[in-house]
Amino acid sequence: MSAAFTIRQATAADRAVIGHHRVAMCLDIGTATPATASGLERATVAWLAQAMPSGEYLGWLATPAGHPEQVVAGAGVQLRRVLPFPQRHPDGRVDVAEGRQAIVVNVYTEPLFRRQGLARRLLESILTWARSVGLESLVLHAAPDAKSLYETLGFVTTNEMRYGGSLTRP
């Protein structure tokens, strides 16, 4: 069924719809409140205005075939340079990675278009891109509804922890 949709790379002109995806995703998974939604959207669109032209953020969007203006799903990556790390390959070999990492973000499908394989296709596009640019590490934070999708694509649960206290200056 998803052949009826096209996956294309986002440009900076798509930043409004990516901002919408981010807010809708955060509301759906409960990390944003309606009161914070418009502020988050504004801040995201402003951030993308810098991060897309610089190449720090890359996005992929799904549109119905023949309707490139109607975006119904999206996903993106933020590229980041981390410290070199020991990298274990599937064959057991360990070498030193230079630190080319990306985090998958803003995975969102409009409710009417869910369960048609769009998020899967978007993630497959990201994996194809990651291999083509020689990325060394691809990470994400999985929402409950998306966990099995990520697992079937080869993502595994790690030991990452997050500080739960306040980092605001007293």
Partners of 30 in beta bridges: none
Complex with ligand COA: residue 112 or 167, whichever CB lies closer: 112
**Strand pairing report for 100-109 and 137-140:** parallel
Query: Which DSSP letter does residue 6 get?
Result: E
Within residues 81-140, the interface with ligand COA by CB under 6 A covers 107-109, 114-120
Give the shortest CB-169-to-ligand COA separation in angstroms.
Answer: 30
Q: Are 139 and 104 in contact (CB under 8 A)?
A: yes
Give the nearest distance from C-beta 7 to ligand COA in angstroms.
12
Bridge partners of residue 78, in order along the sequence: 57, 103
Residue number, 94 or 161, with CB nearest to ligand COA:
161
Per CB under 6 A, which of residues 18..57 are in contact with ligand COA? 25, 28-29
* 87 versus 129: smaller Cβ distance to ligand COA: 129
Count residues near ligand COA (CB under 6 A). Answer: 20
Phi, psi of 143 (to 5 degrees): -75, 155
143 binds ligand COA (CB under 6 A): yes
- Residue 60, phi then psi, degrees to nearest 5: -130, 140
Residue 157: in which H helix or E strand, if any?
none
Kindly state the smallest distance separating residue 75's Cβ from ligand COA, in Å: 8
15: left (phi over 0), alpha (psi -120 to 50) or beta: alpha
Specify the 3-state DSSP secondary structure of 37: helix
Q: Which member of 48, 52, 73, 77 binds ligand COA (CB under 6 A)?
A: 73
Task: Enumerate residues 148-167 that contact ligand COA by CB under 6 A.
Answer: 148-149
Binding site for ligand COA (CB under 6 A): 25, 28-29, 73, 107-109, 114-120, 142-143, 145-146, 148-149
